Amino acid sequence: MAKNKRPAMSPAETEVLRLVWQCQEATVQQVYDALPPTRKVAYVTVATLLRRLEEKGYLRHRVNGKAFVYTPAAKKEDVIRRTISDLVERLFGGNPVPLMQHLAQHSGMTDEDIERLKELAKKK
Amino acid sequence: MAKNKRPAMSPAETEVLRLVWQCQEATVQQVYDALPPTRKVAYVTVATLLRRLEEKGYLRHRVNGKAFVYTPAAKKEDVIRRTISDLVERLFGGNPVPLMQHLAQHSGMTDEDIERLKELAKKK
DNA sequence: TGACATATATGACAGATGTCATAGATTAGG
DNA sequence: CCTAATCTATGACATCTGTCATATATGTCA
Protein backbone atom coordinates (compact mmCIF):
# COMPACT_ATOMS: atom_id res chain seq x y z
CA MET A 1 0.00 0.00 0.00
CA ALA A 2 1.55 3.22 -1.17
CA LYS A 3 1.60 5.98 1.40
CA ASN A 4 1.44 8.67 -1.27
CA LYS A 5 2.00 11.59 1.06
CA ARG A 6 0.84 14.64 -0.77
CA PRO A 7 1.54 17.92 0.99
CA ALA A 8 -1.57 19.18 2.77
CA MET A 9 -3.77 21.71 1.06
CA SER A 10 -4.31 25.16 2.45
CA PRO A 11 -7.87 26.36 2.99
CA ALA A 12 -7.90 28.47 -0.16
CA GLU A 13 -6.54 25.59 -2.18
CA THR A 14 -9.15 23.25 -0.79
CA GLU A 15 -11.93 25.44 -2.02
CA VAL A 16 -10.43 25.71 -5.48
CA LEU A 17 -10.03 21.96 -5.69
CA ARG A 18 -13.67 21.54 -4.80
CA LEU A 19 -14.64 23.81 -7.67
CA VAL A 20 -12.60 21.72 -10.07
CA TRP A 21 -14.37 18.62 -8.82
CA GLN A 22 -17.65 20.35 -9.30
CA CYS A 23 -16.86 21.02 -12.95
CA GLN A 24 -15.18 17.64 -13.38
CA GLU A 25 -12.42 19.51 -15.09
CA ALA A 26 -11.93 23.22 -15.37
CA THR A 27 -9.94 26.10 -16.76
CA VAL A 28 -8.80 28.99 -14.62
CA GLN A 29 -11.65 31.01 -16.01
CA GLN A 30 -14.23 28.42 -15.06
CA VAL A 31 -13.00 28.19 -11.52
CA TYR A 32 -12.86 31.94 -11.35
CA ASP A 33 -16.47 32.16 -12.46
CA ALA A 34 -17.52 29.44 -10.05
CA LEU A 35 -16.18 31.28 -7.01
CA PRO A 36 -18.95 32.23 -4.62
CA PRO A 37 -19.70 35.94 -4.88
CA THR A 38 -18.67 36.33 -1.25
CA ARG A 39 -15.16 35.45 -2.22
CA LYS A 40 -14.02 37.31 -5.27
CA VAL A 41 -10.35 37.20 -5.81
CA ALA A 42 -8.29 38.10 -8.88
CA TYR A 43 -8.10 35.79 -11.85
CA VAL A 44 -4.36 35.41 -11.43
CA THR A 45 -4.82 34.38 -7.85
CA VAL A 46 -6.98 31.49 -8.97
CA ALA A 47 -4.32 30.60 -11.52
CA THR A 48 -1.69 30.54 -8.80
CA LEU A 49 -3.79 28.32 -6.57
CA LEU A 50 -4.38 25.88 -9.40
CA ARG A 51 -0.69 25.80 -10.20
CA ARG A 52 0.17 25.12 -6.57
CA LEU A 53 -2.41 22.36 -6.40
CA GLU A 54 -0.73 20.78 -9.36
CA GLU A 55 2.70 21.07 -7.75
CA LYS A 56 1.29 19.33 -4.71
CA GLY A 57 -0.06 16.50 -6.80
CA TYR A 58 -3.78 17.15 -6.49
CA LEU A 59 -4.27 18.22 -10.09
CA ARG A 60 -2.74 17.81 -13.50
CA HIS A 61 -3.43 19.77 -16.63
CA ARG A 62 -3.58 19.45 -20.36
CA VAL A 63 -3.53 22.26 -22.87
CA ASN A 64 -6.57 23.19 -24.89
CA GLY A 65 -6.03 26.07 -27.25
CA LYS A 66 -4.31 28.63 -25.14
CA ALA A 67 -5.95 27.53 -21.92
CA PHE A 68 -4.96 24.95 -19.34
CA VAL A 69 -7.61 22.45 -18.47
CA TYR A 70 -7.07 21.13 -14.96
CA THR A 71 -8.25 17.68 -13.97
CA PRO A 72 -8.05 15.81 -10.66
CA ALA A 73 -4.88 13.80 -10.16
CA ALA A 74 -5.97 12.17 -6.91
CA LYS A 75 -9.10 10.34 -5.99
CA LYS A 76 -11.62 12.73 -4.54
CA GLU A 77 -12.69 10.13 -2.01
CA ASP A 78 -9.15 9.83 -0.70
CA VAL A 79 -8.61 13.53 -0.49
CA ILE A 80 -11.83 13.97 1.42
CA ARG A 81 -11.03 11.13 3.77
CA ARG A 82 -7.63 12.56 4.53
CA THR A 83 -8.96 16.05 5.07
CA ILE A 84 -11.66 14.93 7.44
CA SER A 85 -9.47 12.57 9.38
CA ASP A 86 -6.91 15.33 9.83
CA LEU A 87 -9.59 17.55 11.24
CA VAL A 88 -10.90 14.86 13.55
CA GLU A 89 -7.39 14.21 14.70
CA ARG A 90 -6.63 17.79 15.61
CA LEU A 91 -10.01 18.80 16.93
CA PHE A 92 -11.10 15.61 18.67
CA GLY A 93 -7.96 13.60 19.14
CA GLY A 94 -9.02 11.10 16.51
CA ASN A 95 -12.45 10.26 17.84
CA PRO A 96 -15.12 10.82 15.19
CA VAL A 97 -18.07 10.53 17.54
CA PRO A 98 -18.03 14.16 18.69
CA LEU A 99 -18.10 15.24 15.09
CA MET A 100 -21.15 13.11 14.42
CA GLN A 101 -22.79 14.43 17.52
CA HIS A 102 -22.10 17.94 16.44
CA LEU A 103 -23.59 17.35 13.02
CA ALA A 104 -26.52 15.60 14.53
CA GLN A 105 -27.17 18.44 16.91
CA HIS A 106 -27.28 20.83 14.04
CA SER A 107 -29.67 18.88 11.88
CA GLY A 108 -32.57 18.19 14.15
CA MET A 109 -31.78 14.63 15.11
CA THR A 110 -33.22 13.14 18.23
CA ASP A 111 -31.16 11.78 21.08
CA GLU A 112 -32.17 8.35 19.96
CA ASP A 113 -30.75 8.96 16.53
CA ILE A 114 -27.52 10.04 18.11
CA GLU A 115 -27.35 6.94 20.27
CA ARG A 116 -27.82 4.86 17.20
CA LEU A 117 -25.04 6.70 15.46
CA LYS A 118 -22.74 6.17 18.38
CA GLU A 119 -23.48 2.48 18.38
CA LEU A 120 -22.71 2.26 14.72
CA ALA A 121 -19.52 4.15 15.18
CA LYS A 122 -18.41 1.88 17.98
CA LYS A 123 -18.69 -1.10 15.68
CA LYS A 124 -15.62 0.35 13.96
CA MET B 1 -25.48 39.24 17.90
CA ALA B 2 -21.78 39.90 18.13
CA LYS B 3 -19.77 38.66 15.19
CA ASN B 4 -16.67 38.16 17.33
CA LYS B 5 -14.33 37.37 14.45
CA ARG B 6 -11.34 35.68 15.97
CA PRO B 7 -8.53 34.96 13.54
CA ALA B 8 -8.62 31.35 12.42
CA MET B 9 -6.45 28.80 14.17
CA SER B 10 -3.71 26.95 12.39
CA PRO B 11 -3.70 23.14 12.56
CA ALA B 12 -1.00 23.04 15.20
CA GLU B 13 -2.83 25.59 17.28
CA THR B 14 -6.07 23.66 17.00
CA GLU B 15 -4.49 20.60 18.48
CA VAL B 16 -3.02 22.54 21.36
CA LEU B 17 -6.35 24.17 22.10
CA ARG B 18 -7.95 20.74 22.21
CA LEU B 19 -5.44 19.65 24.82
CA VAL B 20 -6.24 22.65 26.95
CA TRP B 21 -9.93 21.78 26.73
CA GLN B 22 -9.07 18.26 27.69
CA CYS B 23 -7.37 19.44 30.87
CA GLN B 24 -10.00 22.17 31.41
CA GLU B 25 -7.10 24.46 32.06
CA ALA B 26 -3.42 23.78 31.61
CA THR B 27 0.12 24.97 31.96
CA VAL B 28 2.64 24.71 29.16
CA GLN B 29 4.06 21.66 30.85
CA GLN B 30 0.71 19.91 31.00
CA VAL B 31 0.00 20.48 27.36
CA TYR B 32 3.50 19.39 26.54
CA ASP B 33 2.97 16.15 28.44
CA ALA B 34 -0.40 15.59 26.86
CA LEU B 35 0.96 15.70 23.33
CA PRO B 36 0.53 12.39 21.56
CA PRO B 37 3.84 10.53 21.37
CA THR B 38 3.64 10.71 17.59
CA ARG B 39 3.99 14.45 17.80
CA LYS B 40 6.75 15.46 20.13
CA VAL B 41 7.79 19.01 19.77
CA ALA B 42 9.91 21.18 22.06
CA TYR B 43 8.50 22.65 25.23
CA VAL B 44 9.11 26.18 23.95
CA THR B 45 7.16 25.42 20.81
CA VAL B 46 4.14 24.55 22.90
CA ALA B 47 4.63 27.76 24.83
CA THR B 48 4.67 29.73 21.59
CA LEU B 49 1.50 28.09 20.33
CA LEU B 50 -0.28 28.84 23.59
CA ARG B 51 0.86 32.44 23.46
CA ARG B 52 -0.38 32.79 19.89
CA LEU B 53 -3.72 31.25 20.82
CA GLU B 54 -4.05 33.87 23.50
CA GLU B 55 -3.19 36.65 21.08
CA LYS B 56 -5.92 35.35 18.81
CA GLY B 57 -8.44 35.37 21.60
CA TYR B 58 -8.93 31.67 22.13
CA LEU B 59 -7.22 31.53 25.51
CA ARG B 60 -6.38 33.70 28.44
CA HIS B 61 -4.01 33.02 31.28
CA ARG B 62 -3.47 33.67 34.91
CA VAL B 63 -0.26 33.30 36.84
CA ASN B 64 0.23 30.55 39.35
CA GLY B 65 3.62 30.58 41.01
CA LYS B 66 6.00 30.94 38.15
CA ALA B 67 3.76 29.17 35.69
CA PHE B 68 1.03 30.44 33.38
CA VAL B 69 -2.24 28.62 33.61
CA TYR B 70 -4.14 28.89 30.36
CA THR B 71 -7.91 28.73 30.28
CA PRO B 72 -10.37 28.89 27.39
CA ALA B 73 -11.49 32.38 26.48
CA ALA B 74 -14.07 31.29 23.94
CA LYS B 75 -16.87 28.78 24.16
CA LYS B 76 -15.66 25.41 23.00
CA GLU B 77 -18.98 24.79 21.29
CA ASP B 78 -18.61 27.93 19.24
CA VAL B 79 -15.07 27.22 18.25
CA ILE B 80 -16.00 23.74 17.15
CA ARG B 81 -18.98 24.97 15.21
CA ARG B 82 -16.90 27.54 13.41
CA THR B 83 -14.15 25.08 12.62
CA ILE B 84 -16.50 22.50 11.21
CA SER B 85 -18.56 24.96 9.26
CA ASP B 86 -15.42 26.39 7.72
CA LEU B 87 -14.40 22.93 6.62
CA VAL B 88 -17.82 22.16 5.22
CA GLU B 89 -17.75 25.45 3.39
CA ARG B 90 -14.44 24.85 1.72
CA LEU B 91 -14.74 21.15 1.08
CA PHE B 92 -18.42 20.83 0.26
CA GLY B 93 -19.55 24.33 -0.58
CA GLY B 94 -21.53 24.58 2.63
CA ASN B 95 -23.59 21.42 2.31
CA PRO B 96 -23.12 19.20 5.38
CA VAL B 97 -24.76 16.13 3.89
CA PRO B 98 -21.66 14.82 2.13
CA LEU B 99 -19.79 15.03 5.40
CA MET B 100 -22.44 12.97 7.15
CA GLN B 101 -22.39 10.48 4.33
CA HIS B 102 -18.67 10.21 4.58
CA LEU B 103 -18.78 9.61 8.30
CA ALA B 104 -21.57 7.14 7.85
CA GLN B 105 -19.69 5.25 5.19
CA HIS B 106 -16.77 4.88 7.53
CA SER B 107 -18.70 3.58 10.47
CA GLY B 108 -20.65 0.68 9.06
CA MET B 109 -23.97 2.35 8.48
CA THR B 110 -26.44 0.91 6.02
CA ASP B 111 -27.80 2.80 3.05
CA GLU B 112 -31.03 3.07 4.91
CA ASP B 113 -29.32 4.78 7.80
CA ILE B 114 -27.81 7.23 5.41
CA GLU B 115 -31.14 7.98 3.81
CA ARG B 116 -32.52 8.69 7.21
CA LEU B 117 -29.67 11.01 7.96
CA LYS B 118 -30.21 12.87 4.75
CA GLU B 119 -33.88 13.29 5.53
CA LEU B 120 -33.06 14.67 8.93
CA ALA B 121 -30.54 17.02 7.47
CA LYS B 122 -32.99 18.30 4.92
CA LYS B 123 -35.42 19.29 7.66
CA LYS B 124 -33.03 22.13 8.54
C1' DT C 1 20.78 34.27 50.31
C1' DG C 2 22.59 32.20 46.53
C1' DA C 3 22.55 28.75 43.07
C1' DC C 4 19.71 25.70 40.66
C1' DA C 5 15.71 24.45 38.36
C1' DT C 6 11.99 25.88 35.88
C1' DA C 7 9.16 29.50 33.47
C1' DT C 8 8.32 32.80 30.12
C1' DA C 9 10.01 36.36 26.64
C1' DT C 10 12.52 37.45 22.45
C1' DG C 11 13.13 36.93 18.26
C1' DA C 12 14.96 34.35 14.60
C1' DC C 13 14.24 31.67 10.43
C1' DA C 14 12.78 28.86 6.70
C1' DG C 15 8.82 27.65 4.41
C1' DA C 16 3.75 28.13 3.45
C1' DT C 17 -0.11 31.19 2.25
C1' DG C 18 -2.92 34.55 0.12
C1' DT C 19 -2.82 37.96 -3.24
C1' DC C 20 -1.58 40.26 -7.03
C1' DA C 21 1.10 43.30 -10.79
C1' DT C 22 3.46 42.73 -14.69
C1' DA C 23 5.77 40.48 -18.36
C1' DG C 24 5.70 37.28 -21.92
C1' DA C 25 3.25 33.72 -24.86
C1' DT C 26 -0.54 32.41 -27.88
C1' DT C 27 -4.64 32.62 -30.47
C1' DA C 28 -8.29 34.44 -33.16
C1' DG C 29 -10.19 38.19 -36.12
C1' DG C 30 -9.79 41.42 -39.42
C1' DC D 1 0.31 38.84 -40.74
C1' DC D 2 -0.68 42.21 -37.19
C1' DT D 3 -3.11 43.53 -33.28
C1' DA D 4 -6.13 43.05 -29.60
C1' DA D 5 -7.70 39.89 -26.40
C1' DT D 6 -6.70 36.24 -23.47
C1' DC D 7 -3.57 33.08 -21.08
C1' DT D 8 0.16 31.50 -18.30
C1' DA D 9 4.75 32.47 -16.04
C1' DT D 10 7.49 35.14 -12.85
C1' DG D 11 8.22 36.66 -8.95
C1' DA D 12 7.18 39.90 -5.39
C1' DC D 13 5.54 40.75 -0.78
C1' DA D 14 3.37 40.92 3.62
C1' DT D 15 1.66 37.45 6.81
C1' DC D 16 1.23 33.38 8.97
C1' DT D 17 3.20 28.86 10.53
C1' DG D 18 5.95 25.64 12.78
C1' DT D 19 9.97 25.24 15.40
C1' DC D 20 13.49 26.47 18.26
C1' DA D 21 17.88 28.56 20.61
C1' DT D 22 18.80 31.82 23.87
C1' DA D 23 18.15 35.24 27.15
C1' DT D 24 15.86 36.54 31.14
C1' DA D 25 12.88 36.23 35.11
C1' DT D 26 11.35 33.84 39.15
C1' DG D 27 10.45 30.56 42.59
C1' DT D 28 12.67 27.02 45.72
C1' DC D 29 15.40 25.02 49.07
C1' DA D 30 19.73 23.90 51.21
pLDDT digits (tens, 9 = 90+) for B65-112: 989 999 999 999 999 999 999 999 999 999 998 999 898 888 766 667
B107 vs A124: CB contact, 8 Å cut-off? yes
Residues of A 53-92 whose CB lies less than 7 Å from any atom of strand C: 65-66
pLDDT of residue A124: 44
pLDDT range class, residue A49, cuts 50, 70, 90: very high
pLDDT range class, residue B114, cuts 50, 70, 90: low
Report helix, strand or coil for A37.
coil
- Contact flag, residue B36 CB and nucleic strand D, below 7 A: no
Domains and CATH numbers, chain A: 11-72 (1.10.10.10), 76-122 (no CATH)
CA B72 to CA B53: how far, in whole Å?
10
C1 C1' to B116 CA distance, Å: 73
A90 vs B14: CB contact, 8 Å cut-off? yes
B80 vs A93: CB contact, 8 Å cut-off? no
Long-range contact pairs involving A91-99 (C-beta distance under 8 Å, separation at least 24): A91/B14, A91/B18, A91/B80, A91/B83, A91/B84, A92/B18, A93/B18, A93/B22, A93/B36, A96/A121, A96/B103, A96/B106, A96/B107, A97/A121, A98/B80, A99/B84, A99/B103
pLDDT digits (tens, 9 = 90+) for B33-73: 999 999 989 999 999 999 999 999 999 999 999 899 999 99
For A60, the enclosing helix (H) or strand (E) is strand A59-64
Judging by beta carbons within 10 Å of its beta carbon (0-12, 13-18, 19+), is residue A66 exposed, middle or buried? Answer: exposed
pLDDT digits (tens, 9 = 90+) for A78-124: 999 999 999 999 999 999 989 998 988 887 666 676 676 666 666 54
CB B72 within 8 A of CB B21: yes
Complex ipTM: 0.86
